[in-house]
Structure 1
Amino acid sequence: MVDGVRPRPLDAVAVLVAGGLTLTTGYQGPVLVLSLAAAVSVLWMRRAPLTVAWIGAGSALVPLVLHVLAPDVAPLRTEAILWPPTCVFGAYGALAFAADRYRGAPQWLPVITLALAALRLADWPPLVLRSEAAIALAALSGMYLAARGRLRTELAERAGRVERERLAGEMHDVVTHRVSRMVLQAGVLALTSGDERARAAAEELRATGCEALEELRHMVALLRRDTGEGFGLGLPLPDLRPLVTESACAGVPVELVVDGAPEPVSGVVGRTAYLVVQEALANVRKHAPGADARVRLRYVPGSLRVGVRNSPGLPDAWVTVTAPGMGLLELRQRVEVAGGTLETGAEPDGGFHVEAAFPTGLGPS
């Protein structure tokens, strides 16, 4: 904890309470001085919780040892409300403020010692019962505080990862779309220019744009590394942005849009959805060079819809050669195997659309 390393006003109140409990013990002389010193140490419960817990345990054991060695000098007292007086604060501090530095035995040893010291007073059952109950409640409260602190930290870290993922995705989508237009225009210029020097410059510009897109994708991947959030804002799909970059370098600008709250999908659905986008963009490059494409992922309750739409191609557009892919019939079969449906068809403006619908929810991978 950030503020857990320095005393606060509440700690001063804890010292006063521990001191008041100490005065109820009826001890005098060295035992009283030792018990009061243990009560004062509660002020540093946040900075050195285990040290304070062991001081409290020591203040409980010393009177017992002195009683064995010199029973007339240090007789056991039963007037105390709790024994030892600092047991509540020692047990609470050990389990609440030492969790970030120690786990397991180092935390529990002083608490167990406090509990055993209280059990040594077995001839006074009411005192033992009160003390053991107080130690147990303090330990549970400390564990609760430590768990709540860890949860708060994890939630803050997760929020930071999600925000980083969102910013990285927006940067990739916006910049990729702009640079891909430049790559497309450079490719057209390299194909149609009659000047050899202009063609060389355009080709160099196109190659540089492709390198910039690849470097951007790599940088976004680094920003998203170890986030555990998946694609987009928690989308359980393979990352589609490499397909966007690949199409942009090949001369087809792609806009990526995600709608709806992500829902879990099985591994086979995720892989098939990726395949649908991959094959649809490959067909755009092959059959509609110069077209703009739009990939849209839509989450509705119980369903994921993956759509790829493209505008009409341009007859003289530049585009790289596309390797043969699977046909629509084979793609439809793959989608149906994953439990989905596939719709394809021409658009009124001369473009084309491919849309697959899959069930959400985790199933076979």
Structure 2
Amino acid sequence: MTLGRCRPCSYDEPVDGARPRLADAVAVLVAAGLTLAAYPRGPFLPLLLAATVPLLWMRRAPLTVAWISAATAAALPVLCALAPAAVPPLADLPVWPPAGPFAVYAAMAFAAEPDRATRRWLPVLALALAVLLPAEWPGAAFLVLRTEVVLALAVLYGLYAETGARLRRALEERAERVERERLAGEMHDVVTHRVSRMVLRAGTLADQAADERARAAAEELRATGRAALDELRHMSVLLRRGTGEGFDLGLPLPDLRSLVSESAFRGVPVELVVSGVPVPVPGAVGRTAYRVVQEALANVREHAPGTDARVEVRYLPGVVRVSVRNTRPEEAFAPPGLGGEGLNEVSQWVELAGGTLKAGPVEDGGFLVTAILPTN
């Protein structure tokens, strides 16, 4: 995929590189049939039939086809003036020109790019005005009226088709973007989880190593792991970009209701409270908040079964505060996360995301875990 500038479209460059299709050939046959039905013979018949042939390219060059139809419509007064006897009664013509409605539809449906959205109206207006030229001639009033009505219907149907196609393209692009973001998120979560554990282990080793060389090697491994996390986060952002302009600024925090439902299913009722105005946060912050709640609720289920828990997400200026608090257990259990590495890992996750973590018992005998994470 190229992220550079797109080359400018030419005047009649196709919307999708479309080539003549069966429907275009049918349009030529219908326009030719209308011409033959109203004008079975005469010196101008080959010219009139030739004017229907460009409909084969109404997808590739819709504006050119529309201008040809407008020129054909303007030729009717000239034909009537040059050879009045060769022109059939105007009242017998269904529309003029027979290819006009198809050309108008093509201009509306297939020439809707930003650089052509205005210009597509020029041949349509020219065609509508050209149809009005013979309005004062005998027998031409009904022809003009029928033609203008049919052209108006063709305009409406062309706009309807173009809007439907644009909506379908938008839905397809959105589906592709959602799938791309899902794959990027899964890849990021899986790899980041493993690399984060490596970084945490390297940090623990650096703190506990007695040998200076071992400590330096652990610190280097930790720094390399952090750089790998940054690069992975950058690649994930690239995959999540909808266009070649700008980076994704982030999404709100992940939905925590699945964790609440899981805890309730396992016997720990959880109350979820969200306050403040939700704002987009960096992906690392969203994943860290999710992990904090996930680990804290897991510790509540393990160390304080039978208690109630409360998850509170509060958006403050520049930060989001995520806290998990459980009530006092009926029996004496070890405090959640203490005596193990769970709380230590959570603390380092929060540190990697640029936040702070506080955890400890509260006055009522429960336990509180609070993470404060930046939103920008």
| TM over 0.5, shorter chain | yes
Q: Smaller-chain TM-score range?
A: 0.5 to 0.7
Is the contact made by 1:56 and 1:90 (CA closer than 8 Å) also made in structure 2? yes
Is the contact made by 2:253 and 2:280 (CA closer than 8 Å) also made in structure 1? no
Which residue, 45, 62, 67 being the options, matches 2:75?
A: 62
Is the contact made by 1:4 and 1:97 (CA closer than 8 Å) also made in structure 2? no
Provide the C-alpha distance between the structure 2 equivalents of 1:185 and 1:271, rounded to a whole number of angstroms: 32
Is the contact made by 1:45 and 1:52 (CA closer than 8 Å) also made in structure 2? yes
Amino acid at match of 1:169: G
Structure 2 counterpart of 1:312: 338
When residues 105 and 29 of structure 1 are mapped into structure 2, their CA distance, relative to the original with a 3 A threshold, is farther
Which residue, 223, 227, 233 being the options, matches 1:207?
A: 223
Structure 2 counterpart of 1:192: 208
Provide the C-alpha distance between the structure 1 equivalents of 2:46 and 2:101, rounded to a whole number of angstroms: 19
- Deviation string 1:94-124 (CA, Å, 9 cap, x unpaired) is 1111223752442112211221222223243
Structure 1 residue 233 displacement after superposition: 9.9
Which residue, 101, 106, 109 being the options, matches 1:88?
A: 101
- Deviation string 1:299-329 (CA, Å, 9 cap, x unpaired) is xxxxxxxxxx97336599697898997999x
Provide the C-alpha distance between the structure 2 equivalents of 1:17 and 1:234, rounded to a whole number of angstroms: 57
Provide the C-alpha distance between the structure 1 equivalents of 2:254 and 2:76, rounded to a whole number of angstroms: 59
Structure 2 counterpart of 1:276: 321
Which residue, 155, 168, 187 being the options, matches 1:171?
A: 187
Amino acid at match of 2:251: F
Structure 1 counterpart of 2:169: 153
When residues 194 and 353 of structure 1 are mapped into structure 2, their CA distance, relative to the original with a 3 A threshold, is closer
- Deviation string 1:1-53 (CA, Å, 9 cap, x unpaired) is 87662112222221111011112333754432211101122222222212221
Provide the C-alpha distance between the structure 2 equivalents of 1:71 and 1:203, rounded to a whole number of angstroms: 97
Matched, 1:20 2:33: yes
Provide the C-alpha distance between the structure 2 equivalents of 1:18 and 1:131, rounded to a whole number of angstroms: 13
Is the contact made by 1:53 and 1:91 (CA closer than 8 Å) also made in structure 2? yes
Provide the C-alpha distance between the structure 2 equivalents of 1:169 and 1:349, rounded to a whole number of angstroms: 38
Which residue, 238, 260, 277 being the options, matches 2:280?
A: 238
When residues 43 and 222 of structure 1 are mapped into structure 2, their CA distance, relative to the original with a 3 A threshold, is closer
Is the contact made by 1:91 and 1:135 (CA closer than 8 Å) also made in structure 2? yes
Provide the C-alpha distance between the structure 1 equivalents of 2:31 and 2:195, rounded to a whole number of angstroms: 68
Structure 1 counterpart of 2:59: 46
Structure 1 counterpart of 2:4: none
When residues 226 and 97 of structure 1 are mapped into structure 2, their CA distance, relative to the original with a 3 A threshold, is closer
When residues 345 and 58 of structure 1 are mapped into structure 2, their CA distance, relative to the original with a 3 A threshold, is farther
- Deviation string 1:134-188 (CA, Å, 9 cap, x unpaired) is 1011111111111111111111111122222222222222222222211121122
Unaligned 5+ residue runs, structure 1?
248-252, 258-267, 282-308, 329-343, 357-365
Task: Say how many residue pairs are matched.
Answer: 297
Provide the C-alpha distance between the structure 1 equivalents of 2:358 and 2:197, rounded to a whole number of angstroms: 28
In structure 2, the residue corresponding to 1:143 is in which secondary structure?
A: helix
Question: What TM-score do the two structures reach when normalised by structure 2?
Answer: 0.65
In structure 2, the residue corresponding to 1:352 is in which secondary structure?
A: strand
Is the contact made by 1:189 and 1:202 (CA closer than 8 Å) also made in structure 2? yes
When residues 172 and 27 of structure 1 are mapped into structure 2, their CA distance, relative to the original with a 3 A threshold, is same
Provide the C-alpha distance between the structure 1 equivalents of 2:41 and 2:127, rounded to a whole number of angstroms: 21
Provide the C-alpha distance between the structure 1 equivalents of 2:150 and 2:189, rounded to a whole number of angstroms: 58
Q: Which has the larger displacement, 160-169 or 3-12? A: 3-12
Tell me the percent identity. Answer: 51
Structure 2 counterpart of 1:136: 152
When residues 175 and 273 of structure 1 are mapped into structure 2, their CA distance, relative to the original with a 3 A threshold, is farther
Matched, 1:225 2:238: no
In structure 2, the residue corresponding to 1:47 is in which secondary structure?
A: coil
When residues 271 and 159 of structure 1 are mapped into structure 2, their CA distance, relative to the original with a 3 A threshold, is farther
Structure 1 residue 226 displacement after superposition: 4.7
Structure 1 residue 92 displacement after superposition: 0.8
Is the contact made by 2:15 and 2:111 (CA closer than 8 Å) also made in structure 1? no
Q: How does 1:238-317 map to 2 (within 5 A)?
A: 238-243=280-285, 254=291, 271=316, 274-277=319-322, 311-312=337-338
Provide the C-alpha distance between the structure 2 equivalents of 1:185 and 1:324, rounded to a whole number of angstroms: 19
Amino acid at match of 1:154: A
Q: Which has the larger displacement, 44-53 or 89-98? A: 44-53
When residues 234 and 105 of structure 1 are mapped into structure 2, their CA distance, relative to the original with a 3 A threshold, is farther
Q: Which has the larger displacement, 40-49 or 140-149? A: 40-49
Question: What TM-score do the two structures reach when normalised by structure 1?
Answer: 0.67
When residues 87 and 191 of structure 1 are mapped into structure 2, their CA distance, relative to the original with a 3 A threshold, is same
Structure 1 residue 218 displacement after superposition: 2.2
